[in-house]
Amino acid sequence: MGIEIRGLNKSYGDFAALRDITLSLPSGGLTALLGPSGSGKTTLLRILGGQESPDTGTVQIDGQDVTVLPAQKRNIGFVFQHYAAFRHMTVAKNVAFGLEIRRVPKAQIRQRVEELLSLVQLSQHGHKMPSQLSGGQRQRMALARALAIDPSVLLLDEPFGALDAKVRKELRDWLRRLHDDVHVTSVFVTHDQEEALEVADTIVVVNEGVVEQVGTPEEIYDRPASDFVFRFIGETTQLGEMLLRPHDVRIVPEASGTGAGAGNCSAGVGGSDLSSSDLGGVFSGEITRWNRVGFETRLEVTLDPTAQGPVQQTPVHVQLTRTEVRGLGLQPGDRVIVAPHPDAELRPAQRAGAPEPVLAAV
Ligand SMILES: Nc1ncnc2c1ncn2[C@@H]1O[C@H](COP(=O)(O)OP(=O)(O)OP(=O)(O)O)[C@@H](O)[C@H]1O
């Protein structure tokens, strides 16, 4: 069942915010609507929630057509970036609110609130006022309140957007685990690729009001359906004429390669002979930057001028694990050979005059 969206269009004046959106979001799934600012994510979420109505198209939730049903009749839980808590009520009262207006018996409310506070790890904080909670705790209270009514669907609009990076990361892990426990069909909006890749079962990539791709995080990352998704979903680097992921660049010290002439050669990269013809280029250069980031090492390789074409101005970014760096015996300043990994996803680099790629906002 889940959520079925068919032929949805929404314009503001002559601006088309959503164009012909058709989507099936699985029941019990955690779906991320991911896209750059202004792509239409929030508009789509608001249509699902009933705060906005589409110009054309339909929305079904668990088999029921809700397209014209008012928000309060859709049995949906909402969590927003800035949670509007009732400041004069305790945390427990805030969580109980939805049940009280539904006139659920008091004993039942008390029991449900206890369960929910425990679920969001706030059992010790029920008596506090919202102002006495941290930002992360407040968002957990918002989740408890949204879940109190046993919603058929939970909608979250940038729920962790206002929190600092560390708390945000903790809440992501926590949301993932919570969802594994409660399995309510959930849709959350984010412009953060990492957040979507880490938390969601299904990612819907939206761009300029159109769905670019729907898939699991692995499908979206490893098999992007369009140049836009490839550029938007993760880091890319240029190697000759091609774009690829920094961890898909293979690198060896020049001394261990063969025929290290630039541009068109074969080289023993990563233990096998590689020919530039099937790989989109084998290049020589020098490691000009060396950065350790956690367990990874990020290198920049400035390429030598090639015989065939113009010099590549931007250094190649290479991402390796520390173990790989040790195994290869690489040092800052080394002369190296670089080539794409044989399984690398390659895309033609932007030609002069083409629009700039959208940068990943992390
Ligand atoms: N009520 C409105 N009136 C006019 N234009 C609107 C209205 N709501 C949204 N838009 C426009 O529709 C487009 C999509 O907006 P939307 O809020 O859905 O984007 P978004 O992907 O959620 O972006 P962000 O990540 O910045 O929140 C934007 O260009 C926005 O300016």
**Cα of 147 from ligand 1 centre, angstroms:** 27
**Cα of 153 from ligand 1 centre, angstroms:** 22
pLDDT of the residue at 178 = 85
Choose from 95-99, 270-274, 303-307 the range with maximum mean pLDDT: 95-99
- Residue with CA nearest ligand 1 atom 2: 12
Q: At what angle do helices 165-182 and 106-119 cross, to 10 degrees?
A: 130
- Best substitution site from 11, 15, 47, 192 to test ligand 1's pocket, by max atoms within 8 Å of Cβ? 15
Over range 292-302, report the average pLDDT: 92
- Residue with CA nearest ligand 1 atom 5: 12
Average confidence score pLDDT of the chain: 86
- Residue with CA nearest ligand 1 atom 11: 17
Q: Are 282 and 266 in contact (CB under 8 A)?
A: yes
241 — pLDDT class (breaks 50, 70, 90): confident
Q: Which two tokens stand for residue 356?
A: 């700039």
Whole-number Å distance between alpha carbons of 132 and 220: 40
**Cα of 260 from ligand 1 centre, angstroms:** 51
Whole-number Å distance between alpha carbons of 36 and 322: 32
Q: Are 203 and 220 in contact (CB under 8 A)?
A: yes
pLDDT of the residue at 270 = 46
pLDDT of the residue at 348 = 85
- The 3-state secondary structure of the chain reads CCEEEEEEEEEECCEEEEEEEEEEECCCCEEEEECCCCCCHHHHHHHHHCCCCCCEEEEEECCEECCCCCHHHCCEEEEECCCCCCCCCCHHHHHHHHHHHCCCCHHHHHHHHHHHHHHCCCHHHCCCCHHHCCHHHHHHHHHHHHHHCCCCEEEEECCCCCCCHHHHHHHHHHHHHHHHHHCCEEEEEECCHHHHHHHCCEEEEEECCEEEEEECHHHHHHCCCCHHHHHHHCCCEEECCEEECHHHEEEEEHHHCCCCCCCCCEEEECCEEEEHHHHCCCEEEEEEEEEEECCEEEEEEEECCCCCCCCCCCCEEEEEEHHHHHHHCCCCCCEEEEEECCCCCCEECCCCCCCCCCCCCC
Residue 311: pLDDT over 90: no
pLDDT of the residue at 52 = 94
Q: Are 262 and 312 in contact (CB under 8 A)?
A: no
Over range 287-310, report the average pLDDT: 86
pLDDT of the residue at 360 = 46
- Best substitution site from 19, 34, 42, 52 to test ligand 1's pocket, by max atoms within 8 Å of Cβ? 42
For the stretch 118-155, pLDDT in tens is 988 899 999 999 999 988 899 889 989 999 988 999 99
pLDDT of the residue at 85 = 79
**Cα of 272 from ligand 1 centre, angstroms:** 50
CA 145 to chain centroid, in Å, comes to 25
Exposure string of 270-302, with b = 16+ CB inside 10 Å and e = fewer, is eeeebebeebbbbbbbbbeeeeeeeeebbbbbe
**Cα of 41 from ligand 1 centre, angstroms:** 8
Show Cβ contacts of residue 133 under 8 Å, excluding neighbours closer than 6 positions.
Answer: 91, 122, 125, 141
**Cα of 16 from ligand 1 centre, angstroms:** 10
Residue 156: pLDDT over 90: yes
For the stretch 187-232, pLDDT in tens is 999 999 999 999 999 999 999 999 999 999 999 998 899 989 999 9
pLDDT of the residue at 276 = 45
pLDDT of the residue at 67 = 95
pLDDT of the residue at 74 = 92
pTM of this prediction?
0.81
pLDDT of the residue at 180 = 87
Q: What are phi and psi of 183, to 5 degrees?
A: 55, 30
**Which residues sit with their C-beta closer than 6 Å to ligand 1?**
12, 17, 35, 37-43, 191
pLDDT of the residue at 120 = 87
Pairing type for strands 283-293 and 296-303 reads antiparallel
Atom of ligand 1 nearest to the CA of 206: 21
Whole-number Å distance between alpha carbons of 49 and 360: 28
**Cα of 322 from ligand 1 centre, angstroms:** 42
Atom of ligand 1 nearest to the CA of 45: 18
Whole-number Å distance between alpha carbons of 165 and 362: 10
Q: Which two tokens stand for residue 139?
A: 């968002």
Over range 225-248, report the average pLDDT: 90
307 — pLDDT class (breaks 50, 70, 90): low
For the stretch 63-92, pLDDT in tens is 999 999 999 899 999 988 776 778 899 999
Q: Are 311 and 303 in contact (CB under 8 A)?
A: yes
Whole-number Å distance between alpha carbons of 35 and 210: 10
- Residue with CA nearest ligand 1 atom 4: 12
Residue 299: pLDDT over 80: yes
- Best substitution site from 43, 80, 189, 204 to test ligand 1's pocket, by max atoms within 8 Å of Cβ? 43
Residue 279: pLDDT over 60: no
Residue 272: pLDDT over 70: no
**Cα of 275 from ligand 1 centre, angstroms:** 48
**Cα of 19 from ligand 1 centre, angstroms:** 13
Whole-number Å distance between alpha carbons of 69 and 50: 7
Atom of ligand 1 nearest to the CA of 191: 25
Residue whose C-alpha is closest to residue 201's, from 5, 32, 317, 77: 32
- Residue with CA nearest ligand 1 atom 30: 38
Residue 262: pLDDT over 50: no
- Residue with CA nearest ligand 1 atom 9: 43
268 — pLDDT class (breaks 50, 70, 90): very low
- Residue with CA nearest ligand 1 atom 20: 38
* ipTM for the predicted complex: 0.95
pLDDT of the residue at 172 = 86
- Residue with CA nearest ligand 1 atom 18: 40
Over range 246-263, report the average pLDDT: 71
